[in-house]
Amino acid sequence: MGDIQLKFIQLMVAEAVGIALCLLGVYLFVRGISGRSSFSIQGPGIKATVNNAAPGIIVCLIGMVIIVFSLQSEVGRVQVSESSNSTDVLDLWLARSQNIAGDEDYSTILATILGETPSERVHVVSRVIRDTSTLGGISKTEYGLEKYWLLLAAVNCDRGYFSLGDASPETMILPNSVLDIWHVSRYRDSSWVRVAYVDRKQAYNHILSLANKGLRFGDDVTFSWLTEFYKEEGLPLALTPADTSGGITNLRELSIKYYGEPQYWRLILWVNSETLEENTSQLTSTNDKGRLWILHFLPPNL
């Protein structure tokens, strides 16, 4: 029995258990089984509490939760034949990188490189550059050819080391800089399963809700905790210096550049609370604030 068939069986069993619990709950409620119970569930983007409810209602709600989560799961298969050449994929990413103007937000840049329905998954390796080098030199070291410097520049344009519009093979990369190197992750006869409701926007909203609750970044909520939490959801998290080049003048514009929407300027404020004042607004200038840090998700590291 293959992985896909096994996963479908697991989902069907989960749905059957959920339906059975719903019917049992209705039966207990109709029969008038007395008692008082409480039920609570909490997760990214969802929180519910029921107090002093009849046992039948609690059992029915548990069944409904199981059904909802099983229906929101996706099962997919990624297959790559032995003739698949990772160089072809790198060339495709490079060609797409040439369509980037340099003023797009980071999410748009990633979507442009990968395409709307990427057939290949990305394996991300973070490299610490020990000696002064260039984008062309790093490309030749990592890929064997200098021509992939533009892909390196596009993937790492959020680091603040250079402006994508001005980047070239000769662009200098200083020691102790950290660059993400994209490689092709290939699978043969394997499956992947992902919970559909956990996407990046909902994850950003979840992090923003932590900030709105008054929890302090670094004290109440640490970067390591967030990293481990979202790693289980298949969302690798990074904390990188903000790139304010390209005409970025305030937090609103910086939010649009990295998150695609302006409301996440509060997320930038939360991460940089030691640098930015409490009366900061979305129109607060970024020109005189020194180095700011951006909390954002990376492509899946598979």
In this predicted structure, which of 35-49, 232-246, 259-273 has the lowest mean pLDDT? Answer: 35-49
**What is the phi/psi pair of residue 128, to 5°?**
-90, 120
pLDDT of 22 above 60: yes
Residues 8 and 30 grouped into a single domain:
yes
**What is the CA angle 180-185-190, rounded to 5?**
145
Residue 43 belongs to a domain: yes
Query: pLDDT, tens digit, for every residue of 224-236?
Result: 888 888 877 777 8
Residues 36 and 8 grouped into a single domain:
yes
Rounded Cα distance, 180 and 151, in Å: 10
Residues 141 and 167 grouped into a single domain:
yes
Task: Return the number of other C-beta atoms located less than 10 Å from residue 115's C-beta.
Answer: 12
Torsion of CA 108, 111, 113, 115, to 10 degrees: -140
Residue 280 belongs to a domain: yes
Residue 230 belongs to a domain: yes
pLDDT-derived band at 133 (thresholds 50, 70, 90) equals: very high
Residue 81 belongs to a domain: no
- What residue numbers bound the domain in which 60 lies? 3-71
Output the pLDDT for position 106: 77
DSSP sequence for 183-246: EEE--SSEEEEEETT--HHHHHHHHHHHHHTTPPBTTTB-HHHHHHHHHTTT--EEEEE---TT
Residues 127 and 213 grouped into a single domain:
no
Residues 125 and 204 grouped into a single domain:
no
pLDDT average, residue stretch 66-94: 65
Output the pLDDT for position 33: 72
Residue 262 belongs to a domain: yes
Output the pLDDT for position 189: 36
The segment with the largest mean pLDDT, out of 4-13, 196-205, 215-224, is 215-224
* pLDDT, the chain, mean: 77
Rounded Cα distance, 90 and 102, in Å: 20
Residues 178 and 203 grouped into a single domain:
no
Residue 193 belongs to a domain: no
**Domain C-terminal end among 134, 152, 185:** 185
**Domain C-terminal end among 141, 160, 185:** 185
Residue 25 belongs to a domain: yes
pLDDT-derived band at 192 (thresholds 50, 70, 90) equals: very low
Residues 142 and 115 grouped into a single domain:
yes
pLDDT average, residue stretch 116-143: 80
Residue 77 belongs to a domain: no
Residues 148 and 57 grouped into a single domain:
no
Residues 229 and 281 grouped into a single domain:
yes
Residues 63 and 101 grouped into a single domain:
no
**Domain C-terminal end among 154, 185, 216:** 185
Rounded Cα distance, 209 and 62, in Å: 25
If one counts the domains in the chain, the total is 3
pLDDT of 212 above 50: yes
pLDDT of 120 above 60: no
Residues 217 and 167 grouped into a single domain:
no
Helix, strand or coil for residue 75? strand
Amino acid code (one letter) for 108? T
